Structure 1
Amino acid sequence: MLEALRRGAQTRVAKLLFGLLVLSFGIWGVHDVFRGWGRGAVAHVGNTAISDEEFRRAYQNELDRVSQQARQRITAEQGRAFGLDKQVLAQLISGAAVEAHGEQLGLALSDQTLVEGIQSDPDFQIDGKFSKGNFDALLRQIGMTERGFLNLRRKDELRAAIIRSFVTGQTVPKPLFDIMHAYNDEKRVIEWIKIDPDAITVAEASDEKLKELYDKDQAKYMTPEYRKVQVLTLSVDDLKKHVTITDEDITKSYEATKDTYNKPEERRIQQIAFKDKATAEAALKDLRDGKKSFGDVAKEAGAKDTDVDLGLVTKKSLIDPKIADVAFSLEKDKYSDVVEGRFATVILRVTQIDPGIDRTLADVKDQVRDKLATEKARSELQNKHDEIEDNRIAGKTLTEIAESSKLTFKEIPATDATGLSPEGKPVLETPDLRKIVTRAFAPDSSTDDSAIELSDGGYAWVNVLSNEAPKQKPFDAVKDQVKDNYIVSERHRLLEELAKKLVERVDAGEPMSALEAAAKNKVEKTDPLTRKTIPQSISEAVVAQAFALPKGKAGHGPSPDQTTAVVFRVADVIAAPEASLTETDQLMRQLNAELANQTLTEYTEALKKRLGTTVNAAEMNAALGLSEE
């Protein structure tokens, strides 16, 4: 509904502004459709209020948007943890500030102007003419009167007018353009050499040295904290085991939905459309006489390949029933007679036929039974959840509940915070393992009895029985680990020392080729690079340093695989060439957008300070469903 509302309420100017400003100035979210509804206001900007219903709707809209981007459902609680509630409120406050300023400026639009704007809006037109039906359908969908929609449109138009005055009136200063172009398009050539890890030798550490390192950093060599945990899970699969499905149920469901179990016949259909029947008849004669190919006829008819090939389709997917009947009765690779369809006169050809499959009840009986059992289990899931919660409140243990409810239950002798046993194996085979152990290791795990929502729609309850504090691992048990850590640390230190010495030699005037013996590798040279060009052979850190150093100077950084060090020298600095027209337009658009965002942010912050902004935290919490506590 909100998407439809936005489409109806925004002008073309507003849409362009949205694309320009959305990165940092989100005032185009949920509009003031619901202002005045609900219990009160979560915030005021001057005399302009933001209702709790408006905030709640805007927050839900943002959750939907983030969920779509993340490709998983973001709950309201997770959204608050990410700070989305504060972000949404800040956006609504910015929008309210602009609206309040417009009222102070005395800006107004007449109803006649608004009506003319709506009538000329392509979103409400069919074949270039205003469609009252489309407009009324939108009003019914969002539950608004024409007067309410006009008021909404008026606010958007006024906001757009104010913002447009900033955007259209600004220009990018030439010095700023020149600096940014020079920064973006300057190029550098880098000479570099990768130090062979064998160029340094790590001395063998004595047992005394290793013991010294162990004593110095004993925190590295501790067992993790382990907790003994009980886990009760409620899933659809659990409930399905206790659902009874009769043969009568299966037969009735199959008869009602048998088409869903069948695979319809599919055909790859080609079609050429003609302006009239006579032209089509002449083309068909040429095809059947072998004078022309199907492709030749299509080309003469002005059809593209994408126009001709309808793809692999079912009969039901073809809009014109007359064409569908002919196409699905035609032999493969044969030309149809001329078909005068509902929308065009055509010749058809079928190039591929995938036969359909009709599945009997016997074929899909188990599938139907599983489907019905799943549906019944899902409908029973919440009731079972509530039953378990009631038993928990009554003081029953998870073990007792599991026995009486016949649900999945497991007592885990020891798990660490990552869900691994002391043997290093996962303690549960479930995609929700991390979520379950997070509850087990939460600070309030001993008192939090609420269920965990699982990814399959089920629930889990966790009870921590005991915990085992981290213990110091004896030196003999981790001696090899200490040795490995020593080798890694010492190798890094020696490589760093060698790289610094090689940089000093280059800065003292030696050519890069003089380093090859010490580095046990060959010097290589890059093509001219920009700041954004990162070759696979050297790391981003090296490129960043190279653009910070003057020509002829050297530096060092990590190799892309982090296994060794790279020493480099800035061989050449190539100033940015004069910007082309395309480059100029692209950079101007970027700088204009950034300046607009900065200007509008400063503008709204000044408005909020001048008008006065107050937030009702209690009302905001109530809108989010949080208690006063």
Structure 2
Amino acid sequence: MLQFIRSKVTSIFVKILFVLLIASFAIWGIGDTIFGSPAGRAAVEVDGDVRVTAVEAAEEFDRSRRRLGIPVTVDQAIQIGLLDQTLQNLTVQSLMVVATNRLGLSASDDQIVQLIHQQFRDSLGQFDRTAYQTFLASNGWTESEFVSRARRDLARNQLLGAVATGSAKTVPDSIVKTLHDYREERRIAAAVRIDAATLPAPDAPDEATLSAYYEENKQDYETPEYRGISWIAVSPQSLAESMEIPEDELRTLFEERRESFNTRGSRTVDQALFPDEAEARTAFERIQAGEDFAAVAEEITGMTAAELDFGEVSRGDLPEGTADAVFAVTEPGTVTEPVESPFGWHLFRIRGAEVSAPATFADVRDELRREIALERAYDEVFERSNALEDALAGGSTLEEAAQSLNIPLNQIPFVARDGSQPAGGIVATLPGEPFLKTAFETETGRQSVLTETRAGTYFILRVDGVEPPRIPELGQIRPRVIADWTTEQRLEQAEDIADAIVSAVSDGTPLSEAAAEHGLEVERLPAITRRGQALPSGWPPAVAGALFEQKAGGASAVSSDQGAAVISLVDVIEGGGDMAAPQDQVRRELAGAVSNDLIELLLADLETRHEVTVNPGAVRQLFTVSEGLQ
């Protein structure tokens, strides 16, 4: 390409063109200086110190727009408030940056490395650089940009964690109990179910009735837009399946990484933390004498059973100086002697133990082969996708490119936006998203650009044809319309029967007698909560709501798309009785609400303390300028 340009520079016409181009760049540069470019303006600024440029805000807005999962233009996204929401989020982030900077909160390099290694692991628990780089590429970030974001987020979490800590202790026990009892109240009902499908079918509708029903509901029969698509896809998974890895190479790699394959020992433990050795020793002696570990720990330290649970840990997860004592024990139920760490004195109760064991080559051979093959397949995917892109750029059709590169050409005549076909069912052989999104954004007869799915598959597609949405004529779907009309008639019958039973009960007829008149029996439902817990399958979900609005002896009718039901309150179990769930969940929810309130107060305080400037016009102008240059 460079040689081609050099050869053409000798042409006087091209020389003139280059002069014009250079002049245009100079004018643009001067224009930015004289008239002001929207790109350099601040979209969000706090105290003049922390600023988000219009370009950065536009990039964040565009990422949010694409994450919607449906095709939305820039103008549409602005109209639905996405730009305002993006700027609001960036304002909150900027305020948090100011607050963390003022308090000197930061994240160390070690914390960043640990975060990245935890988020991007392969099946063997090793750092997966390919996954990491794919994640960066999909978000349009450089590594330094991602690290900067991660450092900012970790510092923010330190601040938010400090604000929210202890919120559970601010929730009064009386409020927890009141809300818990309200939620856990259970009610028992006598009920009659009318299944519409078991009712006699009505006579077939005449033509006038059917036509009227069709006209009233014709929008329900509209077909989706279907598209015919041809595509070429190159996936690392498919390449890896056929890739051969020499046995000696697998053995060499196994020897290099043998230690990482060994089963690491772990312990599942409860931990009680004491301020000094005397209290820890007293607790240990009481436990050795037969008292319960959790009861003793709660009495001395105030830690609840949930707070004592330290979970499954490896040596590296334990506080400094405690690992040897914990891993010296393998018998479940054993409590360690008091052991000191920088945090205080610990007692550990071992609930489970997994002893480390060496791995053999046979144990991990297949996993190693898949890992190496997939790693090499990613390199080959890049090579093949570049070759594909070059072939198409050179004028080849999809068919010609597929043949020359020995890549299968895939075709499907009709597929909807959700992957369904006219005959029913979902197409399972399509590449992952954003394949269908791309297909429905590409014009008929055009090819898409080379696009990568979330799973690392590259594809290029062509839209061969479009069948727009349409409403079929009655004659084309007559059996379906008749079936729908029949179902509606049966549902109305079920509702009429339910209303008749309720009316009879209101007049003093026992529920069992009123139901028997229609050939129905009364069932006794189990105790049900307000949220419908314990409601047997097949009963309308609205039963729970109606039941909790009733007084004893009354009756109510509820409907569903399966029929109708009549319910009558029999008994109320206050607070759920023996079946009540623990109050801990309610306390956690209330504590979470308190935490959210505290965080909102923090943000409100930051807004009053700092000067915040938001300029959505700079972002809108940037998109306007970009569209004007296209």
Counterparts of 1:59-78 in structure 2, within 5 Å, are none
Q: Deviations over 1:479-508 (max 9, x none)?
A: 654443232111012223333444555566
Cα distance change, pair 514–617 in 1 and its aligned pair in 2 (3 A): farther
Change (3 A) 1:597 1:620: farther
Which residue in the other structure is 2:617 paired with? Answer: 616
Q: Name the SS for the 2:257 alignment partner.
A: helix
Question: Does the CA contact (< 8 Å) of 1:243 and 1:373 recur in 2?
Answer: yes
Q: 1:340-489 maps to which residues of 2 (within 5 A)? A: 356-360=357-361, 367-421=367-421, 424=424, 426-429=426-429, 432=432, 435-442=434-441, 444=443, 446-447=445-446, 449-467=448-466, 480-489=479-488
Moved more, 451-460 or 256-265: 256-265
Give the 5 Å matches for 1:185-204: 193-195=192-194, 197=196, 200-204=199-203
C-alpha change, 1:502 and 1:387, in structure 2 (3 Å) is: same
Measured in 1, the distance between the counterparts of 2:597 and 2:360 equals 64
Letter matched to residue 51 of structure 1: R
Name the CA distance, whole Å, in 2 between partners of 1:341 and 1:396: 72
Task: Sort the Cα spacing of 1:185 and 1:404 in 2 relative to 1 into closer, same or farther, 3 A.
Answer: closer
Contact 2:196–2:562, Cα closer than 8 Å, also in 1 = yes
Q: Is the contact made by 2:501 and 2:515 (CA closer than 8 Å) also made in structure 1?
A: no
| Equivalent residue number for residue 40 of structure 2 | 39
> 1:199–1:377: structure 2 CA closer, same or farther, 3 Å change rule?
closer
Identify the residue that residue 493 of structure 1 maps to in structure 2.
492
Q: Is the 8 A contact 1:231 1:411 kept in 2?
A: yes
Deviation at 1:414, TM superposition (A): 3.9
* Cα distance between partner residues in 2 of 1:525 and 1:78: 51
Q: Which of 61, 83, 86 in structure 1 is aligned with 2:84? A: 86
User: Alpha-carbon deviation of 1:536?
Assistant: 1.8
Change in CA separation of 1:616 and 1:499 when aligned onto 2, cut-off 3 Å: same
Alignment of 1:448-597 (within 5 A): 449-467=448-466, 480-505=479-504, 512=511, 515-522=514-521, 536=535, 539=540, 541=542, 544=545, 555-558=556-559, 562-567=561-566
The one-letter amino acid paired with 2:493 is L
CA deviation after TM superposition for structure 1 residue 236, in Å: 1.0
How far, CA to CA, are the matches of 1:449 and 1:483 in structure 2? 43
Cα deviation for residue 363 of structure 1 reads 7.0
TM-score, reference length from structure 2: 0.52
What residue identity is the alignment partner of 1:90? Q
TM-score by length of 1: 0.52
Distance in 1 between residues matched to 2:357 and 2:593, nearest whole Å:
58
Taking the aligned partners of 1:534 and 1:350, their CA distance within structure 2 comes to 32
CA contact (8 A) 1:558 1:566 kept: yes
Deviation, 1:91, is 4.5
Counterpart residue type for residue 557 of structure 1: V
Q: 1:529 to 1:394 in 2, by over 3 A?
A: same
How far apart are the structure 2 equivalents of 1:58 and 1:236?
33
**2:260 paired residue number:** 260
Q: Which residues in structure 2 correspond to 1:161-200 (within 5 Å)?
A: 193-195=192-194, 197=196, 200=199
Contact kept? 1:199, 1:520, Cα under 8 Å: no
* Structure 1 CA distance for aligned equivalents of residues 599 and 350 of structure 2: 56
CA-atom RMSD in angstroms: 7.4
Contact 1:229 1:414 in 2 (8 A): yes
Q: Secondary structure at the match of 1:616?
A: helix
Q: Give the Cα separation in 2 of the matches to 1:271 and 1:567.
A: 53
Query: What one-letter code is carried by the residue in structure 2 that aligns with 1:454?
Result: T
Q: CA distance change for structure 1 residues 458 and 303 in 2, over 3 Å: closer, same or farther?
A: same
Cα–Cα, structure 1 residues 494 and 234, in superposed 2: closer, same or farther, change >3 Å? same
User: Aligned partners of 2:258, 2:493: CA distance in 1, in Å?
Assistant: 73
Change (3 A) 1:545 1:376: same
Aligned-partner SS, 2:229: strand
Contact 2:438 2:448 in 1 (8 A): no
Structure 2 distance, partners of 1:601, 1:452, is: 40
- Kept after mapping to 2: 8 A contact 1:323/1:339: no
- Say which SS state the counterpart of residue 202 (structure 1) adopts: coil
Amino acid in the other structure paired with 1:485 = D
The answer for unaligned runs of 5 or more in structure 2 is 1-38, 112-145, 164-178, 299-304, 576-583
Find the counterpart in structure 2 of residue 130 from structure 1: none
Letter paired with 2:375: E
SS in 2 for 1:429: coil
Structure 1: distance between partners of 2:269 and 2:353: 8
Q: Distance in 2 between matches of 1:548 and 1:326?
A: 55
Q: Percent identity?
A: 20
d(CA) in 1 for partners of 2:608, 2:258: 65
- Residues 255-334 of structure 1 correspond to what in structure 2 (within 5 A)? 255-263=255-263
C-alpha contact (below 8 Å) 2:330/2:352 kept by paired residues: no
- What is the aligned partner in structure 1 of residue 229 from structure 2? 229
CA-to-aligned-CA distance 1:312-357 (integer Å, 9 cap, x gap): 98788888899869978x9999x9xx99999999999999785724
User: Are the aligned partners of 2:44 and 2:612 in contact in 1 as well (CA < 8 Å)?
Assistant: no
Q: Which amino acid aligns with 1:232?
A: I
Moved more, 76-85 or 495-504: 76-85
Compute the displacement of 1:231 (Å).
Answer: 1.9
**Residues 224, 308 of structure 1: alpha-carbon distance in 2 compared, 3 angstrom cutoff:** closer
Q: After superposition, give the CA deviation of every residue in 1:391-419 in whole Å (9 maximum; x if it has no partner).
A: 33333222222233333431224444443
- Does the C-alpha gap of structure 1 residues 404 and 474 become closer, same or farther in structure 2, counting only changes over 3 Å? same
Task: Look up the SS of the partner of 1:232 in the other structure.
Answer: strand
User: Structure 1: how far apart are the matches of 2:443 and 2:230?
Assistant: 16
Q: How far does the alpha carbon of each residue in 1:560-592 deviate from its partner, in whole angstroms, 9 at most, with x for none?
A: xx422124578999999xxxxx9xx99999999
Distance 1:327 1:558, change over 3 A: closer
In 1, Cα distance between equivalents of 2:514 and 2:484: 29
Q: Note closer, same or farther for the CA distance 1:50–1:558 as it changes in structure 2 (3 Å cut).
A: farther
Question: Which whole-Å CA distance do the structure 2 matches of 1:202 and 1:98 have between them?
Answer: 65
Aligned partners of 1:332 and 1:353 also within 8 Å: no
Distance 1:547 1:324 in 2: 57
8 A contact 2:419–2:427 mirrored in 1:
yes
Conservation of the 8 A alpha-carbon contact between 1:52 and 1:620: no
Q: Aligned to 1:195, what secondary structure does the other structure show?
A: strand
Distance in 1 (alpha carbons) for counterparts of 2:588 and 2:419: 50
Measure how far apart 1:451 and its partner are: 3.6
Offset, 1:460: 2.1
Mapped partners of 1:375, 1:42: distance in 2: 41
Q: CA deviation at 1:259?
A: 2.5
TM-aligned CA deviation for residue 459 of structure 1: 2.0
Q: 1:111-146, CA deviations, whole angstroms, 9 ceiling, x for partnerless residues?
A: xxx99x969xxx89xxxxxxxx99xxxxxx9999xx
Q: Cα distance 1:240–1:223, how it changes in 2: closer, same or farther (>3 A)?
A: same
Cα–Cα, structure 1 residues 202 and 606, in superposed 2: closer, same or farther, change >3 Å?
Answer: farther
Aligned to 1:410, the other structure's residue is in SS state strand
Is the alpha carbon distance of 1:317 and 1:567 closer, same or farther for their aligned partners in structure 2, counting shifts above 3 Å?
Answer: closer
With 215-224 and 589-598 compared, the bigger mean Cα shift is at 589-598
Residues 249-291 of structure 1: per-residue CA shift (max 9 Å, x gap): 5465344323334445779999999x99xxx9xx9xxxxxxxx
The whole-number CA distance in structure 1 between the counterparts of 2:566 and 2:196 is 13
Alpha carbons of 1:339 and 1:192: their partners in 2 closer, same or farther (altered >3 Å)? Answer: closer
Asked if 1 retains the 8 angstrom alpha-carbon contact of 2:55 and 2:622, the reply is: no
Q: Specify whether residues 511 and 212 from structure 1 end up closer, same or farther in structure 2 by C-alpha distance, changes over 3 A only.
A: same
Deviations 1:161-186 (A, max 9, x none): xxxxxxxxxxxxxxxxxxx99x9999
Aligned residue in 2 for 1:205: 204
Counterpart-to-counterpart distance in 2, 1:604 and 1:268: 43
